[in-house]
Amino acid sequence: MTPHPVIQVRDLVKRYPTKTALDGVSFDVHAGEILGLLGPNGAGKSTSMKILTSYLSPSSGKVTVDGIDLDVDPVGVRALLGYLPESTPLYLDMVAYDYLMWIGEMRGFDRATCHRRIAEVASVVGIKEVIGMQIGQLSKGYKQRVGLAQALLHNPKILILDEPTSGLDPNQIVEIRNLIRDLGKSHTVILSSHNLAEVRQVCDRIVIIHRGKVVADGSVDELEGKVGASHKLVVGVAPAAGAPTSAVAALLAGLPRVKAAIFTHDVRAPVPHAVYDVEADADVRPELADAIGKAGHTIVELRRKSMDLEAIFQQLTHDV
């Protein structure tokens, strides 16, 4: 990662007459990073991407791309970007090759450059075998690849992909994910999705947006290790002879500052023990270990409980 971000988004606001789509969104994207924009439907992901590509104008805020102020030079910013919208804008009656030639000519390429770049991107995205077919005859997966080809044709520094696997079958989803990972080796990528498995497998860092605000920003490991996990414990206890699991649960739940202690399952090997989920107001590990030892039980396992990405997403985007 470079010390200076290639994209800086500061206090981005987008208001409509009846709704505020973005309400002070700020984040950075570094060169070579695959950033996932995550959030429920209507959270503001697509609005953010449309502003980054200068398709929409913000109500206020600032976007800088590779040192270029989007307000000052939107055409210069567009030259750095390759954009794949959620609904890929393809002309279904055109042959894939002719469509890419047309895109290249709009980019200002001469015909020789167009032919060369089409051959290169067709190989990269895996459409060489269908390049001579009419786009309307292609599968959804190949249409998505043609869309990626047009986004890559001018060899942009940054790729912006809005729900790139939406509507694909499981095999096509795996293929597109692998392709995005490969593209991330040579491009900075912003990927919008509400597919948690996709974000986990593809992205280096995640920004979660909810109701137009950034509610989390970090790597998957950072979010899983920090968000809501500080006072949740997993405790494995080998009970004293004859002690039921319910007695151990009652002992744990009775400790000061412990809010709940719930038995979850038994483990038979290598040391038979019962496992409990403990939730507390503070770090109670010293008191917990002392109480278990005084009661004649044995601690086999004691660790902080990390939340997985799904639990984090639900916690941060749940409306009470």
The pLDDT value given to residue 229: 52
The pLDDT value given to residue 10: 96
List, for residues 234-274, the tens digit of each pLDDT value: 999 999 988 899 999 999 999 999 999 999 999 987 889 99
Weakly modelled stretches of the chain, pLDDT under 50: 1-2, 320
List, for residues 52-93, the tens digit of each pLDDT value: 999 999 999 999 999 999 999 999 999 999 999 888 889 999
The pLDDT value given to residue 242: 83
The 3-state secondary structure of the chain reads CCCCCCEEEEEEEEEECCEEEEEEEEEEECCCCEEEEECCCCCCHHHHHHHHCCCCCCCEEEEEECCEECCCCHHHHHHHEEEECCCCCCCCCCEHHHHHHHHHHHCCCCHHHHHHHHHHHHHHHCCHHHCCCEHHHCCHHHHHHHHHHHHHCCCCCEEEEECCCCCCCHHHHHHHHHHHHHHCCCCEEEEEECCHHHHHHHCCEEEEEECCEEEEEECHHHHHHHCCCCCEEEEEEECCCCCCHHHHHHHHHCCCCEEEEEEEEEECCCCCEEEEEEEECCCCHHHHHHHHHHCCCEEEEEEECCCCHHHHHHHHHCCC
Please give the domain boundaries of the chain with CATH numbers for all domains.
Answer: 7-226 (3.40.50.300), 232-304 (3.30.70.1340)
The pLDDT value given to residue 313: 78
